[in-house]
Structure 1
Amino acid sequence: MSLVISGRIVPLTLNGNVSSSEKDTFQGKVWIGDDGRIERVTRGNASAPRNGFDKAAVVDVGSSLVLPGFVDLHSHLAYATLPLWTEPGRTKPFLHHDSWPSASTYAGDITWPAYAFIESAPHELLAYAEVRALVGGTTSIHGSPPKNRPLDGWMVRNVEDETFGGSVSLNRVLTSTLTLKPEVLATRSAQMKAGASFIYHCAEGQANSIVESEYQSARKCGCLQRGFVAIHTNALNPDDYDAWTEPGTIVWSPFSNLWLYGSTTDVPSALARKIPVCIGSDWGPSGTRNLLGEIKVARLVSKSKGWRLTPFDLVRMITCIPGDALVGPWAVQAGRLQPEALGDVVVIKADQAEDAFARVLAATEKDVQMVVIGGRPLYGNPGLMKAAKATFPSNLKIAGAKRTLSMAKLEDRSQPWTFSEVLARMEQVRANPKKEIDAAKNAFAAGRLTDTVPRLRLALDMPLGKVPIGGLPKDLGEVVVPLIQPLEHDAAFFASIKGRGFHGGLLDGLGKFYS
């Protein structure tokens, strides 16, 4: 079904038929066709681009902002339910990404509870992570857990799993959390030259630490090219960026950097070498809940360091910059509202007189009025969702505001699914993880003999820490799953920041955006 959204358009495009500057905003309409692509973006009250829109759902959001959906190129969905983590008693920042997995509480606080969900409730875990992304305006996200078979039922576009109905192969977006050997990096280099993108956790840690060698290894193997998406690079010195003469993209996750290492990526040095920088939210144990939270952290860092990143700069880092990084492998534009681009849209509440980019920077989950992916309304204000003719509507409350969620079961899109059902199943696992893990393992073993389609099984994509076998303790009775975290940033999240981590108090200021 086609969809027309009328409001204050923030296209973030240089298309001459739409805008003359990426900063342009105007009252107008976004026309999304039956194929889920944008057919036209118009100013004022222009008529339909063709007859196919005579039966389109029409949504008027007034003065609210209509933006391209946010693109998060750094996340780990398997850990989305977990609270912020620190190693008790530690007084010095971790040196690099190989330091904290050996902390004494890491496995028990992070690996074991995450494992309980990936083993016992994989569908619900993915649904939780997707809904958490939606409530923050995210329409595409990286970081799906490794799995035993492909999935076709995503709500939010999963960056490495998106195939656009089979028109794009699964090996077009390659990714790795762990450090790769030179022979594998050389293969990735060849794949990028053939049109793939490679999203790689690279040189994560304090400057001059040993993990800087990961970047140098990538350089020697020919990976510093346009399709290379380097997550972090906070261990690099400014001159290291000189080698990247055909710039790809850096993904900056300032909250996680400061929380673990007390320092962050040298963004101005990368930008000075014309290397695009986007923003990623990272994971539950050391990240924000969504990109709206992370750009606020970026703002705090920029102000503290005198980097002068503007609201416009930061909004680009969660829309068109990551969208541009995916154009090569996806063969379609994300992160910009222009003809033929993905019909992925987020609506942010705003008054007519407000500066659009400052408003997005200040926005919280309560200000997200609607999220559309491929022309399908999936989440938002009940009135707007009704006007958009959302299917399978169910109720949700976010930051005290009533919202409608349109969700179907992950592997049967004809069956409605509510978030309360998702949470109920996850609470069963939390109440007795040993029982649920044992039951899931037995069911998987039995299913291998009887099921025509294998049962979904996920794996963790982060280091497991020092544990006896398979990421779990020998005695499953030791597994304790903490409270499932709210979808939005809340008072408890902000309270858990103070006096913890290695940010020197800088992250304490995040809560002021939400007060």
Structure 2
Amino acid sequence: MPKEAHMSGWAIHGRIVTMADDGPAAFSGRVWVRDDGTIAAVTHGTAKGPAELKGAPVVDVGHSLVLPGLVDLHNHLAYDTLPLWAEPTRATPWAHHDAWPRAASYAASTTWPAYAFITACPAELLAYVEVKALVGGTTSTQGSPPSNRPRDGWLVRNVDDESFGTGNRNLVLASVLTATPAVLADRANKMRAGSAFVYHCGEGQQGSVVAREYDDAEAAGCLQPRFVAVHATSVPAGRFADWTDAGAVAWSPFSNLWLYGQTTDVPAARAAGLSVCLGADWAPSGSKNVLGELKVARLVSDHLGWGLTDEDLARMVTSAPGDVLFRAWGRQVGRLEPGALADLLVLDATARATPYRALVRATEDDVRLVAVAGRPAYGEPALLTTALAAAGPAGAPAPTTVRVGARAMGLVLTDPTDGTTPWTWDQVVARLEAVRVDPKHEIEVAQQRGSAFGADGLDATPDLGLQLALDMPTGVGPVGGLPHDLGQVVVPPLQSLVHDADWLASVHGRGFHGGLLDGLGTFYG
């Protein structure tokens, strides 16, 4: 009798961390994944799965933790190849977000090298920075650079661009720039109609002029459930209570401390009923991924006596942002439950590991497997191969190899121009290095073929190829433009994908964290 064929789908068996609001933190069980990228069921022990997936293959990860993929609700991916930046002549913290872009070293250190990559090799830039997110367990990230065309099918779920095949790219709106009252009023109306709005709001020190951005948002009617206030560091504690239709705050403590020496009043925001979600921000003043930002949040809470538990922090990168996005997407991430999107993270852990503590203390070395929309994307080579076979054929090439710290890991990577042609990690890095070695030539070639963006926006002409724009800090053009002599553009060496010893050393004695961030070394020793 022939073996009964299973419906398209697969399951993963391990210690399941659903991030449900009740029930056990973790249990031995299985997550059953449909071929459409959603979760069909979550079962305990070795119980049979749903009838629709009868006979589906099961990938066993032992006592490793199976969690929802992590959600980074605040980033600026276009800059995530760069090292940490600090103005060498600055002795006191910056007052607000309009101050540090005027620093003498800012454009040459940050804008110009980012411009070189985004102009000359946009596809390779995106591949590098999205892999950097993926190796830290991130499956959804906000802050992908503006582009001239839809970008479905990339490595991680792009919060701003996600349309779930509808073509509606207004599910989540975002603004880095301070919006006018008219724009805020328009965004308030769009939120009432169902969109979410991620807005840099009140980024700076308490008492600084940018606190009025929160006042303006309130006056325009933006304090709604689908409003995400990024940073809100200057907002006085009592003002969060005015947000009666509770939305969310995106908290980036590393960046806050690095630039301003202060951070968001998280206890006040939580007391007002707001969801607090973590974001890694960007490489010049942030962590490499939200897995790293969890450790910053742990240090800050302990230092300030806030009493945030490991579960509180774990929810800031899973269920909290997932629930916020559900309000706009109508689809759940950040939880393992029937109907949710099957974005999965497998972390190495002992059989007795406390799940939330294990997540907070985990490093890139603990990431065993990451799947986005049910498709294994990155992981330990043997486990990734097994998971890909279980998930079934989808036309993807064999995984390429990427060096992550001391480990050789597998990565499913295809050329973004067609989505099927094999693309190796070495090809990605080689192209970035070519631009890094001779940015003047590469920028000139890109400008000649018309792929550089101008002050009026991005050109959607099909034969120009992919175009991207910088989103920090002045939108579609670099601050002050490029130098007249492009020979002045220097692109620093590509940064590692992990929080390594060199990166940790670059934290010491720089920024305005008063030494607090030096404690990150205790997590990566």
TM-score category, normalised to shorter length:
over 0.9
- What whole-Å deviation, never above 9, does each CA across 1:426-479 have from its counterpart, x for those lacking one? 0000000010001111122699999744411111101259x9987311111110
Contact map agreement 1:57 1:387 (CA 8 A) in 2: no
Amino acid at match of 2:519: G
Q: 1:239 to 1:350 in 2, by over 3 A?
A: same
Superposed, which structure 2 residues align to 1:356-371 within 5 Å? 356-371=355-370
Mean Cα deviation higher: 341-350 or 396-405: 396-405
Matches within 5 A, 1:109-508: 109-166=109-166, 169-389=168-388, 391=396, 392-444=398-450, 452-463=462-473, 471-508=481-518
Of stretches 437-446 and 345-354 in structure 1, the one that deviates more from structure 2 is: 437-446
TM-score, length-normalised on structure 2? 0.94
2:11 pairs, out of 4, 17, 30, with 4
Q: TM-score, normalised by structure 1?
A: 0.95
CA offsets 1:287-310 (integer angstroms, 9 cap, x no match): 000111101000000000000111
Q: Which amino acid aligns with 2:437?
A: A
Deviation of residue 38 (structure 1)? 0.2
Where 1:408 maps in the other structure, the secondary structure is coil
Q: Corresponding residue for 1:25?
A: 26
Distance 1:305 1:354 in 2: 27
2:178, 2:200 within 8 Å by CA — same for their partners in 1? yes
1:444 partner SS: coil
Report if aligned partners of 2:111, 2:479 keep a CA contact under 8 Å in 1. no
In structure 1, distance between residues paired with 2:522 and 2:103? 31
Partner of 1:43: 44
Contact 1:71–1:323 under 8 Å retained in 2: yes
Residues 53/133 of structure 1: CA separation in 2 closer, same or farther (3 Å cut): farther
Q: Distance in 1 between matches of 2:411 and 2:94?
A: 40
Distance 2:343 2:501 in 1: 30
What is the aligned partner in structure 2 of residue 13 from structure 1?
A: 20
- Separation in structure 1 between the aligned mates of residue 323 and residue 416 of structure 2, nearest angstrom: 28
Tell me the percent identity: 53
Distance 1:352 1:110, change over 3 A: same
Amino acid at match of 2:31: V
Backbone CA RMSD of aligned residues: 1.9
Cα deviations by residue, 1:75-115 (Å, 9 ceiling, x for unpaired):
00100000000001211000000000000000000000000
Matched residues in 2 for 1:99 and 1:280: separation? 21
Q: Alpha carbons of 1:208 and 1:220: their partners in 2 closer, same or farther (altered >3 Å)?
A: same
Partner of 2:62: 62
Aligned equivalent of 2:5: none
Task: Give runs of ≥4 in structure 1 deviating > 6 Å.
Answer: 445-451, 467-470
For residues 137 and 511 of structure 1, the distance between their equivalents in structure 2, rounded to whole angstroms, comes to 20
Deviation at 1:217, TM superposition (A): 0.1
Which amino acid letter does the alignment assign opposite residue 41 of structure 1? V
In 1: Cα distance, 2:38 partner to 2:491 partner? 41
For structure 2, the residue ranges without an aligned partner over 5 or more in a row are 1-7, 390-395
Letter in 1 for 2:87: E
Stretches of structure 1 that go unaligned for 5 or more consecutive residues are 15-19
Residue 118 of structure 1, CA deviation: 0.5
- Note if contact 1:444-1:455 (Cα within 8 Å) is conserved in structure 2: no
Secondary structure (helix, strand or coil) at the match of 1:437 reads: helix
State the AA in 2 paired with 1:113: P
Q: Matches of 1:359 and 1:185 in 2, distance apart?
A: 40
**In 2, distance between residues paired with 1:24 and 1:446?**
49
Match of 1:410, SS state, is: coil
Report the more deviating stretch, 142-151 or 440-449: 440-449
Q: Given the alignment of the two structures, is residue 105 of structure 1 paired with residue 105 of structure 2, yes or no?
A: yes
CA distance in 2, matches of 1:222, 1:446: 37
For the pair 1:511 / 2:521, whether they are aligned, the reply is: yes
